[in-house]
Structure 1
């Protein structure tokens, strides 16, 4: 009997580390979801529209959009359920107010001229919101998530650099591989903000890659000639260290 109890105890000790490794792996995928969402929105989808342009509602109804967001949403919810013991679902006030706004915005479907299209767009926005926000606010691994987002926005800015030379400048500024200069400007302003955040951290590696990110983001931002985004970039230093 003693030997049996000893074997059972040893088996439990073997299973617990394995379970811990599985939970760590699931958490690492979970915290990566916001960066995956941004990567698709900032890189994959714009490049597909650049190479295979469509207009109007067809851009939203593209099958790759529907498949990606549905798959990422299911993955996000599934990981949240499996990691529920590690997560803190107490949402901050700003997120709560945004959810209220999102619910009120959904009421506009009732008087929409094309309800089917409006419902499709609204469901898509809800899925995007959940994938971008839930892993960050529930897992509380903000530094890791911020690093992922820095890489995502920095890579997007870097990929746009050759398009500044290979594509024709618009009347009001460069658009890169985006559909408008303001989209390029907004992206580069956020890339600049994440780069400043890296510069503000302790460590040579953080500051080095942050400095490179600042240069790339500013280059793209200036080329876009987006005044609104430039204003956002000027304010970003106030939140970069927060």
Structure 2
């Protein structure tokens, strides 16, 4: 293949390439909330017809990462700051319930999987790649959720984790810039230790503290960067 020649795309996979690229750019905030996603411009960028671009945008809309306006324009979904307290409330409940169940029901296989996900997150932190950090953070918590053996709670939890990934990037950015706090690694290990010991109450306490640490740092980030009058509930 000549240098600079694009590899031939397998039929039907075009939308996946667009989806993966845009999803990564949205989650990492390279594409800012509110950015217009024009089908024609995207078609030119990815050198393909509008049909796979439209399919990618439909799938991103299903994950609430993009929204279609009344005039049919598509934009990157805003981060709804006003709804943050309700989001954290739901995240706290899901995180505590899944972690409690994991401490009660985990198997040795579950422990190996959680430990592997913990190591992957730590490696991502060392790399400084925020997209990898948010993905491996999600996988760590989903390993815990799967150990809890309740697919309904796990599915609800996964949806919340996905919805919060862009806020988590802001959280990472704030901690790295201010050095005010730590990047979750110590808390992850403490949660793993409680689950391993089948200490349900300690697992619950740690899961709750984990949510509150994220909440406090996100509020601090907003106060520092956007306004002096943010009301997002108690940290």
TM-score past 0.5 threshold: no
- The structure where helix makes up a greater share of residues is 1
Select the structure of larger CA radius of gyration. 1
With normalisation by structure 1, the TM-score equals 0.28
